[in-house]
Structure 1
Amino acid sequence: MNETHPSLEYLLVACVAAAFTFVLTPIARRMAIRWHALALPRDRDVHAVATPRLGGLALFAGFGLALFLAARLPSLNRSFASGPDMPWVVIAAAVICALGVLDDRYELDSLTKLAGQILACGIMVTLGGVQLALFPLGGSTVSLGRDLAIPITILFALLIINAMNFIDGLDGLASGVTVIAASAFFVFSFHLAKAGFTDVSAAPTLLAAALAGACAGFLPHNFWPARIFMGDSGSMVVGLVLAAAATSATTSADPQAFDSALGSLAFYLPLLIPLAVLALPFIDLLLAVVRRVSRGRSPFAPDKQHLHHRLLELGHSHRRAVLLLYFWSALVAFAGVGVSFEHEQWLVVGSLAALAVIGLLLSIVPGIRRGSRRRAARRRVEAASSASPPSTSPPSTSPQSR
C-alpha cells in the first residue's frame, strides 16, 4: 500500500492549530479579564490601556490539539515513534505555560521564574529526550555525551525562552516572529528530508508546523492594536517549543549521511539554522544584558531600550516598527535556509544583499527625516531670534511718581 505524502497532513495540522487558537483566544481573553491578569501600562511599555494577558493558554491549547491530531494521521504518526518523546515535550510545555499563567497574574520574581524554566527544560531534555548529543564535524561525528549534552541543551533552551520573552514588547511582534522562525524551521527540516538526510515525517518538522499554525491563529487578535497579549504564558511556551524543534532539527539527521557533503560550506550552514532564525531576539537579549550589566544593574532589570523601542524613537509608527522587525527576522531566518540549497547559493546571496540594503534604507530614513526636520526648526528659531530687535520695555511708573 502506498503511503500518503505528509505535505497535506502538515498543512492540515497547521490549519487545525490556527483554527483552534483563533477560536480559543477570545475565551482566554475573557478568563484574563475575570482573573485580573492584565498588563497595566508602565513607563517602559508602549501600550496606553490595560490589556488582557493569558494568550498563551490559547496558543498551548491549539498547539496541543494539533499534535493530538497528527498522532492519528497515517504519515505523521511516525514522528511520535522516533526522535524526542513528544508527550513529554507537551508536558514540559504545559509546565512552563502554567508558570507563565502564574506570572501573568501575580508577576513572579526573576529567580522563581528561572527555577520554573529550568524544571520545564529539564523535563523536556531528560524525559523527552531532546538533547544536542551528536553532530557532524569534518569527516567525523562528535558525541557530547549525556553528562555534557543535558546541561548544554537546557542552557540553549533557557536562552531561547528568555530571548522570546525579551522581544515580546510590541503588539504582534513575538507571535509574528515565531511564525517566521517556525516556518524557516519547517522549510529547513523539509529540505533535509527531500535531500535524504532525515525522515520526511521527522519530529522537528511537525513541531514547527504546529507552532507556526498556532501563532498564525493568535496573530489576528494580537496585531496592533492588540486585544490580548500572549504574556509569559505564551512567550515561554513558544521559546520552549522552538528550542525543541531547533535541537531535534540539528540532531535528527544521520550524521554519517553528511560525510560526502561536508566538503561544501552549504552543508555546514544548515546546522546553524536554529541560531539564525532566532538572531533577532538573541541580539536583543545580548544587547540588553550587556547594557544593564555595564550600568551595574541586574540583567533582568527592565528598560526601554530594546530594538523595538529604538525603532519607535527613530520615528516609525507602531505598525511599521513591527513590520520592519518581521522583515529583518525573515531576512535572517531564510538567509540560512536559502544557502542550504546548494545550486542556488549565488542567487540567494545576491537577493539577500539587495533586500538587506532596502531594509536598511527603510529602517533609517524616518530617523534621517526627523533629524532634518529638527535641524530646520532649530535654524528657523535661531533666525527669528536674531532678526527680531531687542525688546525695550517702557519705564515703570510707581504709585509715588503718579
Structure 2
Amino acid sequence: MGAGGAGVPLRELGLVFLVACVITYLATGVVRSAVVRSGRLMEIRERDVHDMPKPRLGGVAMYTGFVAAVLLADQLPALTRGFKPVTPEMDAVVWGAFIIVAVGAIDDLVELDAATKLIGQILGALTMSLMGLSWTFIYIPFANTTVVLDQFQSVAWTTLFAVIVMNAINFVDGLDGLAAGLGGISGMALLAFSVIILNDQGGTVAAYPPAIIGAALLGICAGFLPHNFEPSRIFMGDSGAMLLGLLLAAASTSASGKINMALYGGADTVGLMVPLLVVLGAFSIPVTDLVMAVVRRTKNGRSPFSADKMHLHHRLLELGHTHRRVVLVLYAWMLALAMGTVSFAAFPSYVAALILLGGIIVAAALTAIPVLKDRRDATGRGAGTPRGRGAAPRAKAPLAATEGAPGTPGDAAAGSQGVDSHPVG
C-alpha cells in the first residue's frame, strides 16, 4: 500500500493524477496542432463572443489523458480493488466516456442538433449504467431512510442524473478556463472524500473507483488548463464539457449511490452526502443562472430563449471584474462549496460549518471587490462630487475575450456559450 495509512494508496493516486496531467497536457498540444493544420476551426457565429476562430476538440486530449491514467491504475497493485473482477465500474466509465467524447467530437466539428446530441448523451450514460456503474440506493436525509432501487429504477435514475450533470457542466463552460477549473476543483473534492472514506473504513471497495476517477479528473483538468486559461489557445468543446460532466456523475454515483447511508449515524450521514453536495455545488452556478434567466425573461413577457446580458458572468463583468478575475471569483465560490462540504466528512459538524461559512465569506468578499473600490474612490473624491461628474465611470470589461458564455438557445452575442457549450434544451 502507498503512504498515508492502511488502505489509503496516496502515492498511487498521486501517480494517477500525474499521468493524467502530463498526458493531457501533451495530447492537447498535438490535437491543437492537428486541428489548426486541417483548417477545421469553427467559424465565428452570430451568438459567439470571441473575436477569432479557435480549435475545439480539447475533450479528445482530455479523454486520452484519462484513459492513460486508468490504464496505469489498473497495473498498480494498490488500486486493483477498483477494477475487475472486484468491480466493473472503471470499465463502465471508460466506455461510457468514449461514447460521450465521440458524440461531443462530432458536435465540435459539424454542430449536431440538440435532439441528436441528447440521444448521444443518453446512450453514453445508459452504457455506463448497464455495464455496472449505477445507483443502488437513494438516501432521503429528512426521512433518514434509504430507497433501494430495482434494476430498472437504478438504470433510469443513473442515466437521468448523468445527463443532467453533463448539461449543467456544458452550460457553465462560458469563459476561458472556467469549466476546467470547476471540474478540477470538483475532482479534488471527490478525491479528498474518497481518501477519507478509505482511511475511515479500512479500504472499502466502494471508495476505490471514485478515488481513481477523482484523481484522474483533477489531472486532466490541470493538464488542460495551461492551454485553456485566458487567453486560451484551444477550447475543450462539447467533447470536453460533457466528459467532465460524465466523470463527475460517475464518481458521485460510485461514492454515494452504492452506500446505504441510513446505516450510519447522523454525523457520518452528512459526510456520506458530500459527493452529491459537491456535484450540486459544481452545477449550482449554471443552474442558478439558467433559472434566473428563464424567470427574468418570462416575467418581462419575453421568450425564455431570447438573448440578454444578465447572466451571472455578465453581472460580475458589470461590477468591474476583468474576465480573468470573473473566473477566479467563480473558482473561489466552487472551492468554498466543494471543500466546505468535504470538511463535514473529516471534522465535527460545527468545525465543518465554520470552514464552509469562512469560505463563503471569502468568496463573497472577492466578489464585492469592485464595489468596495468604487465606494473608496467615491469617498476620496468627496461627497460634493457625484459619481459620473468630474470623474470617468469605471470602464466595462470587453466581452470579446471570453471563450463564449453559456446560455440557452438564442443567447446571441449576449453571453451565450459561443464556442465551447450549447447544452441540450
TM-score, L = length of structure 2:
0.79
How many pairs are equivalent?
376
Distance across 2 between alignment mates of 1:129 and 1:305: 42
Is this contact kept in 2: 1:288–1:306, CA < 8 A?
A: yes
Is this contact kept in 1: 2:206–2:255, CA < 8 A?
A: no
Match of residue 327, structure 1, among 315, 332, 342: 332
- Structure 1 position 70 matched with structure 2 position 89: no
Distance across 2 between alignment mates of 1:304 and 1:140: 43
Correspondence 1:283-362 to 2 at 5 A: 283-291=288-296, 297=303, 304-343=309-348, 345-362=349-366
Q: What is the DSSP-based 3-state SS (H/G/I as helix, E as strand, rest coil) of the residue aligned with 2:147? A: strand
Pair 29,376 (structure 1): closer, same or farther in 2 beyond 3 Å: farther
- Per the TM alignment, residue 366 of structure 1 is displaced from its structure 2 partner at its CA by 1.4
- Structure 1 position 272 matched with structure 2 position 293: no
Is this contact kept in 2: 1:53–1:228, CA < 8 A?
A: yes
Match of residue 366, structure 1, among 366, 370, 374: 370
Distance across 1 between alignment mates of 2:294 and 2:200: 39
- Per the TM alignment, residue 32 of structure 1 is displaced from its structure 2 partner at its CA by 2.2
Distance across 2 between alignment mates of 1:292 and 1:111: 24
Pair 95,305 (structure 1): closer, same or farther in 2 beyond 3 Å: farther
Match of residue 145, structure 1, among 135, 150, 154: 150
Match of 1:259 in 2: 263
Q: What is the DSSP-based 3-state SS (H/G/I as helix, E as strand, rest coil) of the residue aligned with 2:345? A: coil
Match of 2:217 in 1: 211
Distance across 2 between alignment mates of 1:32 and 1:310: 34
- Structure 1 position 237 matched with structure 2 position 243: yes
- Per the TM alignment, residue 368 of structure 1 is displaced from its structure 2 partner at its CA by 5.9
Is this contact kept in 2: 1:75–1:201, CA < 8 A?
A: no
Superposed CA offset, 1:282-308 (max 9, x none): 333443454566665466x77654322
Question: Could you tell me which amino acid in structure 2 is paired with residue 108 of structure 1?
Answer: L
Superposed CA offset, 1:314-363 (max 9, x none): 211111111111100110111111122243x3333223323322321321
- Structure 1 position 18 matched with structure 2 position 21: yes
Moved more, 100-109 or 190-199: 190-199
Q: CA RMSD in A?
A: 3.0
- Structure 1 position 171 matched with structure 2 position 176: yes
Question: Could you tell me which amino acid in structure 2 is paired with residue 157 of structure 1?
Answer: A
Match of 1:94 in 2: 98
Pair 38,287 (structure 1): closer, same or farther in 2 beyond 3 Å: farther
Gaps of 5+ in 2: 379-384, 392-425
Pair 166,263 (structure 1): closer, same or farther in 2 beyond 3 Å: closer
Match of 1:156 in 2: 161
Pair 102,267 (structure 1): closer, same or farther in 2 beyond 3 Å: closer
Correspondence 1:110-121 to 2 at 5 A: 110-121=114-125
Match of 1:378 in 2: 388
Question: Could you tell me which amino acid in structure 2 is paired with residue 261 of structure 1?
Answer: G
Superposed CA offset, 1:218-247 (max 9, x none): 111111110111011100111111111111
- Per the TM alignment, residue 77 of structure 1 is displaced from its structure 2 partner at its CA by 1.8
TM-score, L = length of structure 1:
0.84
Pair 226,293 (structure 1): closer, same or farther in 2 beyond 3 Å: same
Is this contact kept in 1: 2:41–2:53, CA < 8 A?
A: yes
Is this contact kept in 2: 1:178–1:212, CA < 8 A?
A: yes
Match of 1:225 in 2: 231
Match of 1:124 in 2: 128
- Structure 1 position 133 matched with structure 2 position 139: no
Distance across 2 between alignment mates of 1:37 and 1:280: 32
Q: Computing the radius of gyration over CA atoms, which structure comes out larger, 1 or 2? A: 1
Distance across 1 between alignment mates of 2:104 and 2:276: 29
Superposed CA offset, 1:169-191 (max 9, x none): 11111001111000001111111
Distance across 2 between alignment mates of 1:276 and 1:153: 15
Q: Percent identity?
A: 39
- Per the TM alignment, residue 212 of structure 1 is displaced from its structure 2 partner at its CA by 0.9
Match of 2:193 in 1: 188
